Structure 1
Amino acid sequence: MVKNLVIVESPGKIKKIQSYLGSNYIVLASVGHIMDLPPKTLGIDIENDFKPRYEVLSGKRDIVKKLKQAYKTADDVLIATDRDREGEMIGWNIAEVLGLKDPKRIVFDSITKTELLNAIKNPRKIDHNMVNAQKARRVLDRIVGYKLSPVLWRHVQKGLSAGRVQSVVVRLIVEKENEINNFFSMDIPSSFKFHGLFRESNEKFFKSELYILKKKDKDNRFVGGKSSIEGEREARKFLLTCMNSEFKIHDVFDKQSIRNSPAPFTTSTLQQEASRKLGFSVKTTMQTAQNLYNAGHITYMRTDATNLSKEAMGSIKKFINEKYGNKFYKETYYKPKSKNVQEAHEACRPSNVFVEFVKEEGAISNKEVRLYNLIWRRTIASQMAPAEFKITNIQISISKNSKYYFATVLENLVFEGYLKVYNMKAENEDEIENEENKGIKVPKKGTNLEVDKIVGKEEFKKPPSRFSEASLVDKLDPKNLNIGRPSTYATIISTIQDRNYAKFKDIEGVEKDSKQLCWNNKSKIDETSEKVIIGQEKNKLVPTSLGEVVNNFLTKNFPKIMDYKFTSNMEDSLDDIADNKKDWVNVMKNFYKEFSSQLDIVSKEPLLIEDKFTKILGKNEKGIEIIATMGKYGPMIKECETKTKCNIAPIKKPLTIDTITLEQAMKLLEYPKILGYIDKKTVSLKKGEYGFYVTIGKGKTQTKISIENENISLEDIKKILEERAKKSLGEFKKDTKTYLVLEGPYGAYIKMNDSKTKKKYNIKLPEKEDPKTLTLDKVLEIVDLYFKKPRYKKNNKSKKS
């Protein structure tokens, strides 16, 4: 029987599509790209209008063979690759290898029977403008990487690589680090932030913050903003005026406030929200969304659009009106925040909005269940009415100080609106309610108040924050810098880590003494002090020394390639190619003219590695030279007895190749030290980036213990292990996760650490479980149930604003 051949990208779609199309169709997958530029040569004829030379990928020859065999017996071929530029290029490659003269192309936003059958009825031709846009991007990236990398080998270190977009992303991370270093190189300014506790006679005390008075409005209400007072002397002077003042309610008034619903997800906003609320990496989000798309649960996830189809809008309206009532529905159309919106896609949404939850089965795991729920809630919320709040403002005058006043702002939820479905906290966010100012009696205008105390706490200016995955994605997003495309962000973030240009790290911060001045309605001011940490961060992107060196070299010698605006304009040009507004060859010619001239200049410059990145520090007691140089993973110390026998140690900040001394280098080369053996396992003292630590054994069974300094003995290690054994009720490991069963003040719990994501969770052990009889399977079951537990809360409390 004659059959029609349908070729998709992902094998995960085959079963679903085959079930919809029936036995008259054969569905096969290309499994992504089947052709690309050759891996070991440039593969581009620059002199011949940048003509690329594509070849079948070595790992895809069997797939191509299978597609050709199926094509021979097929009556018709329908190319059903994804509807973005990558998908269009894959479709064009399939047509090339099969020799299709007039290939039929079908596209669909979601894998549903209706969409599929509609697409089959309305095939189109391959969009060569989209193909050319992808071709231009690939050729650009290959030329920059292929031409720049050898320059880095010559001037910095062999084995390094550069990329058109990745290098610009590293620049962002390096510049952020420089900002932070500049911040800490100067005295950190501080000021005293004041609050007071007041009450009407016999009522509950409420908290009020200090504001500076700018003016009074037509109703004689104070107009100002939150304030702090610089300098301890001025802070004390303010408190002295309070000691002699009366406090009175100057005014109480209400205002209405609304909070509008968020737009449906684009690729970028999905990545950001999944990171913030579910703790997913960008890579995890994209893979999980792909699985949902393949299973027919959501529309295509690679999209810059926020619009919804007419059919989807109708379904959402019906769902909201039936489940929540007409007053919760509000039809809303969202305009894109950037001119760079690619292709006429829909936002990422559920294929069927009447399906609130998906089940775990097949490729659908707990991750897919959680991400689907996030997408579903966001989509429904996008067409719901705004949340409405009553904002109560309480203003308190200070009789002896007309420059300042105290104010309390109470926010009360009047109408939930979209918050009915989309008010989900991060899964590991503390769920303890903030009781501050909750349920207080609002005093009347003119009421004299009792004061419990007025406190001024010294607060230090905060340094700039490093990039998390979510904040980096937001910075790169088309609405901001417009660098790269959201569908490529996961690859970019992985690449800069793989090449050791940046790493996710925890930053300890700087300890400072913070003063607190308190007047508690007595005749004196009490002073206390506490330690505070400035600049402490978790799991943020930090440039490596190697990343900084490479960035500085590229920024100096290739300023255009490293320029944010230039990179953004190139994205615009690629969009214009896709829209048939620009010719891809002309775009390439304009780019290459300037790039090649700069390349020629730098290639003729003298080698830098001989002077700038290598330094002979001196000789050790054996007469062996100690050298500071640049290695594949950054600055390092080398001590080589022979060409093949070298002792090396990394140079860590704040030391550099330029500043390190022979004495400091010899200290670094002391580690690791073998302290002895415990149960036939080697005990080694090591020095890492965050201080000293001890390892016992090696491989997956290795135990690691952080210590404060290097003055530790084998007996000390044995005592630490004995103490740890007493506290621990059990320890289990699986993949990158460690599960410690511990006894806490409120009972036994599981402490889960993920070494890959740096996430930590404390999970209470169910009362029925005996910690002593736990197995790995039982621990995994308890953890799985913890993550399935819904953590959604209504924002129906009064709170301090």
Structure 2
Amino acid sequence: MPVNLKFDHSCINCEKINTDDRNLKGFPCIECLPNETNDYINSLITTNKLYKLEKYIRFENEFKDFFNFFVEKTGLKLNGYQKLWAKRVLLSKSFTMIAPTGLGKTTFGILIAIWLAKKEKKSILIFPTIAIVKQVVEKIEKLDKTIKILYYNSNMKKSEKEDFEKRFKKDDYKILIVSTQFISKRKEELKNKFFDFVFIDDVDSVLKSSKNIETIIMLTGVPENVINETLKKLKIGQKPEIKDINKGILVVSSATARPKGIRPLLFRYIFNFNLGKPSFFSRNIIHIRYKTKEINQLIELLKILNDGIVIYAENENEAKKLKEILKKNNIEAGTSWENFEESFEKFKNGKLNILIGISSYYGKLVRGIDLPEKIKAVIFWGIPKFRIEKEDLILPDIYTYVQATGRTSRLFKGNLLKGASFVFEENDEIFEKLSSRLFWITDEEFYNSSDIDIKKLVNELNESRKNIENKDLKFSSKLIIVESPTKAETLSKFFGISSIRSLNGLISFESITKEGLITITATRGHTYDLITKEGYHGVEFSNNTFIPIYNTIKKCKECGYQFVDNYDKCPKCNSKNIDDKLNILKALRELALEVDEILIASDPDVEGEKIAYDILQYIYPVNSNIKRIELHEITRNAFLKGIDEKREIKENLVKSQIVRRIEDRWIGFELSQKLQTNFKRTLSAGRVQSTVLGWIIQREKEYKNSIKKFTSFTFENGLKVEFEGIHENATLKIENIYEDTIAPPAPFNTSTILSEISKKYKLSVNEIMSILQNLFENGFITYHRTDSTRISKTGQAVAEKYFKLINKTHLYKPKSFGNEGAHEGIRPVKPISPEELKDMIKEKIINLDKKHLLIYKEIFNRFLASQSKKIKVKKARLNIITENSEKSEEIITEILEDGWNIFMPIKVIQLMNENKVTDRKVYDKHTVPLFTQATIIEEMKSKNIGRPSTYAKIISVLFERKYIFENKYKRIIPTKLGKFVYNFLNSKYNKFINEETTRILEKIMDEVEKGKKEFQQTLHEIYNEIKGGIK
């Protein structure tokens, strides 16, 4: 699907300019390879032009070599996790090994060390105990007797120890195998030794002594002074900047406890990874609530469950009472506060069926155990809670609950074990808060105990643990690429963040799913844009074809100026501190080498499609398994659905974006050049912005000429009626009273929410869009750049669930507001009320502020109103008469039957017996108002100028160029400069900035998007129009 574009820095071989056509065929650029041939590697070697591509060829060959070596030595193929780890080692990347137990971490470490030894490289393998050291030595000797190994065992004979010391001093070995204790005792001797590969089988044992961390880092060749300088900066809160050091590879097993202190941060800043903790968020847990805390019910449940039970009480006193009650009922239970080690061993070996502990986040039974094959059920005698002292507020401790329930279910030997959680809680309010938070974090729901067959459930729990054997995991490693780091982190949290890595400054989050490992990272928007210095404003013309030329986007870290051309310093402030998106692209290419599949999940619009295409063509030469996924909401289910419905990139959407960008560039640059040529100033102009500027200027003229006298009368029922002119008296007559129904409003789309929120809260459209983006990326609302008001079946189900929660199902009336399509209106993605979101912000579950809450509340209430039934009302038609005029008004006098007004109250005006005038005012008023940001957007929407994704940008550009400003009443007024620029353009180039031309161009670009108009033909038409009209 090549579009015929050129991308600088994209050639896989020389990293200079290449076409999308060649990149999508896997070929280097025409300078490297003049003639396309399948035997291009030999051709490059023959012509002495094999450059960067050599690295990728070597990587591929080495991977094949290690794969075959592994098969030869073990008789087994590398499993999916081992393939991923092997690729990382071959790419010289240090990392945490994140995987379920029993997937060959130790075997992998041993085999890599042997393979490296055959290439004359040194390795050190560090294990927690001498017993494991012995086992590993035996395994290596069995696998390959030719490798020089050296190991230390405190139980060795004197002669063996002496031999060890001699060889240790002389570095007479290829693989050194030692225990953690050896590392602790031999720091001085070890710190000057260098190993190409350092493998730590149990990082927890190493972390027990923080000094071990420094020793291990020095084993890779990092100088002690670099470590000390890094620690020094960390201690005073500074971010260390470490230059590239020629160091070995460090591979560690994942931690089971959160590392403490600052020394573990050395791994992040020196090796670019965090010590990971396996967070197995692939869960299969059923949650059941008992509405009363009855001991008889608890005893009955324990008898049905029989074994594999952990009970959590809210505090130690409560736990001790439970222990005594169980004892009286002849039920034995171990505890977390007394002889725990002994009790846990008995539980582990099936000699004890129940453990009792405290529901505390760092409690022994919440975080300190990992035994899902035994623990099938957890019981909460009261929800875990915490108090916000300042507000005297008691809230559910959702993170403790999620952590504790996770004891019952995770991946084990390739099987997803089923678990159950039983909650005994009488407080409905706190239970509902727990339920909604659980649903937001995990998509898991609660059931009432009366709705579940407990005996059948127990059989299912037991069955899932019977005959557990190692399953062949259908492992797949996926790289998911999104636009924003916030979205990347939110998606990762759905599965639990197991590790965080950094590559070229690109942060990636790793999570384990049932299918394998996913790495999620973000481009931070577009990576490429049109150049400015070549061709016709960045577009080359050759063989009657337009060829857009793209370069990576650069941004000055000092002044914020953005540019694309190849400058070695900022064109505006001369700083060399430049952030180049090329670094992100290079990091993505390296990450792509590691994984089986790449899924690009940029925003679901034409801009997102172009971002996806730019990434596709750059990555394709190293990994061609690339697909596009769409996320219209950021939820776990939407994410999994997106993966299931992955697709190819839509060429017409890409072409549409390119046409828009080129048309904007050509007209904008041409008009800007005319301004600069005529007035010798750095003035600029754009087509759509100039059209809107014209409206603002015209509206100001109309406003100034529209002052008239008005009289207002306020009646005793609060009704206010305005008449043009001066009037002395008014009387109110009731013409008719009747019943009527009022339909609910449609949900918000982009234009209506920008308009409504801007009016109500006096926020700028830019700020509103930023808040909407945050709400979307954090998983609270659907995609916010949309023309649609459609509500899907999924959206209707969200509304239905909330109506059930508040016991108002009689008001629920689902509506779609449009035909089936990709986009929806703006709605909440889960039935989380604004009050619950407010609590979540207080609890610091989510990092949002009051403005986010205000806007979410508007979206939530409007959406629920849209899914409610009509309001039945009583209306009055009134006639208001003055001495020389009259006016009809319709008012609502009574609500007869509630409907959507529960969420969006409507004004009710009572009828009075006499309806006297209580106030009269005479004043001057403009009959034509100045534009506000809200009314400008309404105008753009009504006249089909701009798109949902550009409304805010159009207005913000006019402010930035100082062509308009807002007065203290938030009304928009053109500046002298704005009028000057517009009058010049309008007098000479009206054809390109008038409303009709703008509307026609918008229609043409929509036709390109739908495939109704040919891409190149459209560019020719626009080009000819500009060349003929701008002289």
Scaled by the length of structure 1, what TM-score is found? Answer: 0.58
Larger strand share, 1 or 2:
1
Aligned counterpart, 1:296: 779
User: 1:501 aligned to 963, 986, 991, which one?
Assistant: 963
Query: What whole-Å deviation, never above 9, does each CA across 1:511-531 have from its counterpart, x for those lacking one?
Result: xxxxxxxxxxxxxxxxxxxxx
Residue aligned with 1:165, SS: helix
Aligned counterpart, 1:469: 933
Structure with bigger RCO (C-alpha 8 Å, 6+ apart) = 1
Aligned counterpart, 1:540: 971
- In 2, the alpha carbon distance for the partners of 1:456 and 1:542 equals 31
Matched, 1:549 2:1031: no
User: 1:123 aligned to 646, 659, 663, which one?
Assistant: 646
Aligned counterpart, 2:824: 346
Aligned counterpart, 1:629: none
Conserved 8 A contact 2:786-2:824: yes
Query: What whole-Å deviation, never above 9, does each CA across 1:501-559 have from its counterpart, x for those lacking one?
Result: 111113xxxxxxxxxxxxxxxxxxxxxxxxxxxxxxx1111111111111111111112
Conserved 8 A contact 1:291-1:363: no
Aligned counterpart, 1:584: 1015
Matched, 1:6 2:484: no
- In 1, the alpha carbon distance for the partners of 2:654 and 2:1001 equals 16
Conserved 8 A contact 1:473-1:486: no
Matched, 1:158 2:636: no
Query: What whole-Å deviation, never above 9, does each CA across 1:556-598 have from its counterpart, x for those lacking one?
Result: 1112211112212211221111111111222222222222112
Deviation at 1:167, TM superposition (A): 1.2
Conserved 8 A contact 2:627-2:648: yes
With over 3 angstroms needed to count, the CA separation of the structure-2 counterparts of 1:96 and 1:388, relative to structure 1, is same
Conserved 8 A contact 2:713-2:920: yes
Matched, 1:57 2:553: yes
Matched, 1:484 2:962: no
- In 1, the alpha carbon distance for the partners of 2:1023 and 2:792 equals 41
- Bigger radius of gyration, 1 or 2? 2
Task: Give the 5 Å matches for 1:408-447.
Answer: 411-423=893-905, 440=912, 442=913
Matched, 1:286 2:809: no
Q: Which amino acid aligns with 1:350?
A: P
Deviation at 1:192, TM superposition (A): 5.5
Q: Which amino acid aligns with 1:67?
A: L
Aligned counterpart, 1:84: 605
Task: Give the 5 Å matches for 1:681-760.
Answer: none
Query: What whole-Å deviation, never above 9, does each CA across 1:197-254 have from its counterpart, x for those lacking one?
Result: 7xxxxxxx768989xxxxxxxxxxxxxxx866x57xxx68xx7xx9xxxx9x976641
Matched, 1:373 2:857: yes
Residue aligned with 1:412, SS: strand
Q: Which amino acid aligns with 1:145?
A: G
Deviation at 1:166, TM superposition (A): 1.2
Deviation at 1:365, TM superposition (A): 2.2
User: 2:615 aligned to 81, 88, 94, which one?
Assistant: 94
Matched, 1:136 2:659: yes
Deviation at 1:304, TM superposition (A): 1.1
With over 3 angstroms needed to count, the CA separation of the structure-2 counterparts of 1:207 and 1:279, relative to structure 1, is closer
Q: Which amino acid aligns with 1:18?
A: S
- In 2, the alpha carbon distance for the partners of 1:405 and 1:146 equals 53
Task: Give the 5 Å matches for 1:121-270.
Answer: 121-183=644-706, 188-190=707-709, 253-270=736-753
Residue aligned with 1:555, SS: helix
Deviation at 1:422, TM superposition (A): 2.1
- In 1, the alpha carbon distance for the partners of 2:668 and 2:483 equals 27
Task: Give the 5 Å matches for 1:590-669.
Answer: 590-600=1021-1031
With over 3 angstroms needed to count, the CA separation of the structure-2 counterparts of 1:404 and 1:354, relative to structure 1, is closer
Conserved 8 A contact 1:81-1:91: yes
Q: Which amino acid aligns with 1:44?
A: V
Query: What whole-Å deviation, never above 9, does each CA across 1:370-419 have from its counterpart, x for those lacking one?
Result: 22222111111111122332124566999xx8997999966223333111
Q: Which amino acid aligns with 1:558?
A: Y
User: 1:323 aligned to 806, 822, 829, which one?
Assistant: 806
Q: Which amino acid aligns with 1:556?
A: S
Residue aligned with 2:494, SS: helix
Residue aligned with 1:53, SS: strand
Query: What whole-Å deviation, never above 9, does each CA across 1:66-90 have from its counterpart, x for those lacking one?
Result: 1111112112211111111111000
Aligned CA-pair RMSD: 3.3
- In 2, the alpha carbon distance for the partners of 1:503 and 1:394 equals 41
With over 3 angstroms needed to count, the CA separation of the structure-2 counterparts of 1:117 and 1:387, relative to structure 1, is same
With over 3 angstroms needed to count, the CA separation of the structure-2 counterparts of 1:409 and 1:289, relative to structure 1, is closer
Instruction: Give 5+ residue unaligned stretches, structure 2.
Output: 1-80, 85-476, 496-510, 555-579
Percent of pairs identical after alignment?
29
- Farther-moved stretch of structure 1 (388-397 vs 590-599): 388-397
Residue aligned with 1:89, SS: helix
Query: What whole-Å deviation, never above 9, does each CA across 1:351-374 have from its counterpart, x for those lacking one?
Result: 112555322235322222222222
With over 3 angstroms needed to count, the CA separation of the structure-2 counterparts of 1:257 and 1:36, relative to structure 1, is same
- In 1, the alpha carbon distance for the partners of 2:910 and 2:764 equals 36
- In 1, the alpha carbon distance for the partners of 2:875 and 2:609 equals 52
Aligned counterpart, 1:312: 795
Deviation at 1:157, TM superposition (A): 4.2
Aligned counterpart, 1:686: none
With over 3 angstroms needed to count, the CA separation of the structure-2 counterparts of 1:206 and 1:313, relative to structure 1, is closer
Aligned counterpart, 1:112: 635
Matched, 1:35 2:528: yes
With over 3 angstroms needed to count, the CA separation of the structure-2 counterparts of 1:194 and 1:76, relative to structure 1, is closer
Conserved 8 A contact 2:811-2:869: yes
Conserved 8 A contact 1:83-1:108: yes
With over 3 angstroms needed to count, the CA separation of the structure-2 counterparts of 1:556 and 1:208, relative to structure 1, is closer
- In 1, the alpha carbon distance for the partners of 2:1026 and 2:924 equals 45
Query: What whole-Å deviation, never above 9, does each CA across 1:34-83 have from its counterpart, x for those lacking one?
Result: 11112555211245433210112232122112111111211221111111
Conserved 8 A contact 1:173-1:542: yes
- In 1, the alpha carbon distance for the partners of 2:590 and 2:989 equals 49
Aligned counterpart, 1:386: 870
Q: Which amino acid aligns with 1:423?
A: P
Task: State the number of aligned residues.
Answer: 502
Q: Which amino acid aligns with 1:421?
A: F
- In 2, the alpha carbon distance for the partners of 1:559 and 1:402 equals 45
Aligned counterpart, 1:731: none
Conserved 8 A contact 1:321-1:329: no
With over 3 angstroms needed to count, the CA separation of the structure-2 counterparts of 1:402 and 1:596, relative to structure 1, is closer
Instruction: Give 5+ residue unaligned stretches, structure 1.
Output: 198-204, 211-225, 425-432, 444-450, 507-537, 601-801
- In 1, the alpha carbon distance for the partners of 2:1030 and 2:886 equals 61
Query: What whole-Å deviation, never above 9, does each CA across 1:142-173 have from its counterpart, x for those lacking one?
Result: 11122111100122341000112111111111
- In 1, the alpha carbon distance for the partners of 2:887 and 2:973 equals 42
Deviation at 1:307, TM superposition (A): 0.7
Deviation at 1:472, TM superposition (A): 0.8
Q: Which amino acid aligns with 1:257?
A: D
